[in-house]
Chain A
Amino acid sequence: MFRFANPARFMRFSAAILPWCAGATALLLAAGLVLALFVSPPDYQQGEAVRIMYVHVPAAYLASLAYAVVAVASAVSLIWRHPLADIAAQEAAPLGAGFTLICLISGSLWGEPMWGTWWVWDARLTSVLVLFFLYLGYIALVHAFDDPTRGARAGAILALVGVVNLPIIKFSVDWWSTLHQPESIFRLGGPTIAAAMLWPLAVMALGFTLFFVTLLLVRMRSRLLAAKIRALRLVG
């Protein structure tokens, strides 16, 4: 499990896969945009407004996935005290916050024409807003200590407590009555969304995922370089 968790190995491994990740991200996002804006059909009820789905749903999925990365890395950091885990958690957080913001704004822009309101305080929307504040709280807490190790530990504990929000987001549309539609993709009995929309959505979701992986690798490499710079300054 820790084979790639050695910082020197991580630098070699990430340097090898980074160009491939970046290239695949560019290809998938370009293909996804063409599919979403030109190829996919308008919805029979929502018309062209359904195209908002192609940024809203991948952003929502990445908002939760990035938080899961923050939480798992935080657990690894608390249990095994692994330095790369702290870096992974701290560098995934701003990316996740960005995706959550895209999700909230695009959702609002979708809600106004379809529901007749920019915002409702229902379970799905509120729990995603809480996710956004969890990201901001985590980032602020990590930087609130003079000793980075204490900041990392406090942040890791907050990240783990906040994990309770992930199943609430996922199941909020089943547990409470809401304006938000129920799960239409990862559900028992298969997706209820038409294939002509599912494929563009899948390409976009994969593009968003690789975008996240690519930037996470860049940011983690950047942090390891910073540590090396600090060490060199102390010697010099």
Chain B
Amino acid sequence: MMVAIEHYLAMGGYAVFVWPAFAVAVLIMAALAIDSVAGYRRRLRELALLEGDLP
């Protein structure tokens, strides 16, 4: 089992190229998603506060 996993992770000797390529894609897309959603949530909160202040 361990051998099979190690064999898989080695990616036929291309591990140092394949895994960073996927990691970069995941990191950049996660950063875009977090930036977009965090900004949206912040403004939703801000708007709720402002509308709560109104009579």
Residues of A at under 8 Å CB distance from B? 33, 37, 42, 47-49, 51-52, 55-56, 59, 94-95, 98, 101-102, 105-106, 109-110, 112-113, 211, 215, 218-219, 221-222, 225-226, 228-229, 232-233, 236
Contacts and interface: CB of A to CB of B under 8 A. Distances in A.
B22 A49 contact: no
Nearest to B39: A222
7 contacts: A37-B22, A49-B18, A55-B21, A95-B32, A109-B17, A225-B40, A229-B46
Contacts of A106: 21, 24-25
Given A211-B29, A233-B50, A49 B14 contact: yes
Contact of A113 (B17, B29, B32, B51): B17
A51 B18 contact: yes
B11 A48 contact: yes
**Chain A interface main SS type:** helix
B32 A222 contact: no
Looking at chain B, what size class is its interface with the partner chain? 20 to 34
Interface of B: 11-14, 17-18, 20-22, 24-25, 28-29, 31-33, 35-37, 39-40, 43-44, 46-47, 50-51, 53-54
Contacts of B13: 47-48
A43 to B, nearest CB: 10
A219 B18 contact: no
Contacts of B54: 232, 236
Contacts of A101: 28
A113 B14 contact: yes
A209 to B, nearest CB: 13
Contacts of A37: 22
Contacts of B33: 211, 215
Given A95-B32, A101-B28, A229-B50, A219 B40 contact: yes
A47 B40 contact: no
Given A49-B18, A102-B25, A225-B43, 8 more contacts: A49-B12, A51-B11, A52-B18, A98-B28, A109-B21, A229-B43, A229-B50, A232-B54
